[in-house]
Structure 1
Amino acid sequence: MMNIRSFLLPKAEVAYITTTATMRDALELLDTCHYSAIPLIDHEGKYVGTLSEGDLLWKMKNTPGISFDNMHQVPIMEIKKRIRNEYVSVDAQLDDMLALAADQNFVPVVDDEILFIGIIRRKDIIEYYTRSITD
């Protein structure tokens, strides 16, 4: 029987950003990793949300005088998060994760303490089920 761990991309292989980062840090990380959204982790390693390119764009649009040169002065936590990526416990049922993956590019995975342990990418789920169907 498949479980959530079978799809897990571990934290060590995932680009994420911490709550102490700046807007410029986020922009540079998104550019480097080619993600359109990244998990946001606090100083204890807990998942606190997802930051998207759109969040950065809206912040730029709504903040007079902001530019690439002064983005390092904008704390990441001042940026409104428009995507509410629901997370799933690593021990949850596969159906719970699949329901979330239908609406999210990735599903953050946490342990019992809400510590971030990785993500499940919708792409990987689709590839797995496509292989199952064609085999």
Structure 2
Amino acid sequence: MLETQKLDGFELAVKDFMISSERVAHVQKGNNLEHALLVLTRSGYTAIPVLDHTFKLQGLISTPRIMDVIMGIERIEFEKLDQIKVEEVMNADLPCLDENDPLEEALELLIDHPFICVVEGKGTFAGILTRRQVLKQVNRLIKKIKYN
């Protein structure tokens, strides 16, 4: 069992674990769905952040949301992809963290989400916090405590 006294005074913030915005695939809210689907497919992710022209976080776009829009009754309507903007389809209701939030707050959100978007200041996109990144760091910390 992890000894809590070894963690006294050990404060961690979201920024200590996040992947910076420069390394995160994203689209602009004015892009069309064809572009968004291309970015999603090339990146290998099922959801990516949507930003405005000032790099403020607006929402998330996902492959399932795009597919819902182009799925017709008898066929997939691919021609809709270049006619519909990301902002018309994106999910604007998403959990979000400030880069200075404590890690405990992030852990609660990561239970239900594979990643959480992180903002700084007045909503500028700073990066993402992934469940994978947190688990890697927790694993490293446990090994460090165990062998010290």
Please report the TM-score for the alignment, with normalisation by the length of structure 1: 0.88
> What is aligned with 1:15?
25
One-letter identity of the residue aligned with 1:27: L
In the alignment, is the contact (CA less than 8 A) between 1:85 and 1:104 conserved in 2? Answer: no
2:44 to 30, 34, 40: 34
Give aligned-pair identity as a percent: 24
Counterpart among 12, 15, 20 of residue 5 in structure 1: 15
Cross-structure match for 1:67:
77
Contact 2:50/2:58, CA 8 A, preserved across alignment: yes
Task: Supply the distance in 1 between the matched residues of 2:43 and 2:124 (Cα, whole angstroms).
Answer: 22
Paired position in structure 1 for 2:109:
100
Contact 2:71 2:77 in 1 (8 A): no
* Residue deviations 1:3-56 (CA, integer Å, cap 9, x gap): 211111111100011101000001000011001100111122111111111111
Give the alignment's TM-score, normalised by structure 2: 0.80
The answer to whether residue 114 in structure 2 is matched with residue 114 in structure 1 is no
Q: Which has the larger radius of gyration?
A: 2
List alignment gaps of at least 5 residues for structure 2: 1-10
Give secondary structure in 1 for the equivalent of 2:78. coil
Equivalent residue pairs, number: 134
For 2:55 and 2:81, locate their aligned partners in 1 and report how far apart those are by CA, in whole Å. Answer: 24
Unpaired runs of 5+ in structure 1?
none
Matched, 1:128 2:115: no
1:55 maps onto 2:55 in alignment: no
For the aligned residue pairs, the C-alpha RMSD in angstroms reads 2.1
